[in-house]
Amino acid sequence: MKTALIFGISGQDGAYLARLLLEKGYRVAGTSRDAQMVSLRNLDTLGIRDRLTLHSVTLTDFRSVLTVLTKVAPDEIYHLAGQSSVGLSFEQPVETFMSIGVGTLNLLEAVRFLGAPVRLYNASSSDCFGDTGGAPATERTPFAPRSPYAVAKAAAHFEVANYREAYALYACSGILFNHESPLRPARFVTRKIVTAAARIAAGSGERLRLGNIEVARDWGWAPEYVEAMWAMLQQDAPEDLVIATGATITLAEFTAQAFAAAGLDWSDHVDVDKSLFRPADIAVSRANPARADDRLGWKAVMHPADVARAMVEHEMRQPPRENIVS
């Protein structure tokens, strides 16, 4: 039985990944800053909370990281932790860089220090590419980050590559494009849209305020993306890969699909609020995930419009009180 350690297990990806690994027969351990206080709602929702062990770890504290690695002795490490909001990173740039850049460095150094034959997956981000002018990004596309979050993720990405090259660690990064699910926190725009659509369909009478609806993204389905994470650690040699659907739509189109799934015309219920625009943003995010298909045999099934509809349909099935409180 393999043992997997998931840093950031309480988040969307961490919860889906934990479920996948348990289904594959792994012994699963997870971490959060305070395992006694953190919300484990996602693990409860998936019905797996009692099937894994939890540990309190602060990634910016090297001793904390070293202690949990020694205690768990994992075969595989999945690093999904750190500040995950692009918008919030403009307000908290130092915290963002510390949790992602320094946290990743501590983890890599702890793995090197222990010298155990562990395999490490790092969650990189498509935001590292910045604005490619609409060209599909591949593993060879240069990074040009446009937010504190992306800067931190780029630093972590290169840290992983450096430790792989310098110390022969089995360490790789999945350059994941946007991926969503019903487990997304309410602060993410996709969840904001689908919960609003469900409430309006139920008669709330509210109007949804959005920022720049002309931005375009490649939105995939999170439960599929964790399969790619696992597959990346099963290869003979570590390799960084772009994980995406290969399809891109605008936020306006995503919103239209979501409202249509609720039986509504989005244009009757949505206002654009320029105060919600980011200081710097990526106009179009587009990917070419062909290498993941070639190396892993992985290809996304659900594309952005499918994701929007699936999220709303799930939200509409929830009890009314859960639709109101997002």
Output the pLDDT for position 37.
61
> For residue 318, what are the domain limits?
184-218+247-285+301-324
Output the pLDDT for position 185.
86
Low-confidence ranges of the chain (pLDDT < 70): 34-37, 320-326
Output the pLDDT for position 36.
62
107 and 9, same domain (yes or no): yes
92 and 231, same domain (yes or no): yes
Output the pLDDT for position 74.
98
268 and 307, same domain (yes or no): yes
Q: Is residue 292 part of a domain?
A: no
Best CA proximity match to 263, nearest among 186, 175, 200, 323? 200
Output the pLDDT for position 56.
93
Output the pLDDT for position 96.
93
Residues 218-254 pLDDT 10s: 999 999 999 999 999 999 999 999 999 999 999 999 9
Instruction: Pull the structure tokens for residue 264.
Output: 């509504």
Domains: count for the chain:
2
170 and 192, same domain (yes or no): no
Instruction: Pull the structure tokens for residue 88.
Output: 């919030």
8 and 123, same domain (yes or no): yes
The CATH number given to whatever domain includes residue 76 is: 3.40.50.720
130 and 162, same domain (yes or no): yes
72 and 116, same domain (yes or no): yes
Amino acid at position 43, single letter: L
101 and 146, same domain (yes or no): yes
130 and 196, same domain (yes or no): no
Residues 120-145 pLDDT 10s: 999 999 999 999 999 999 999 999 99
Output the pLDDT for position 321.
52
Nearby residues of 127 by Cβ (< 8 Å), 6 or more positions away:
86, 145, 146, 147, 149, 150, 153, 282
For residue 30, the cross-strand partners are: 6, 54
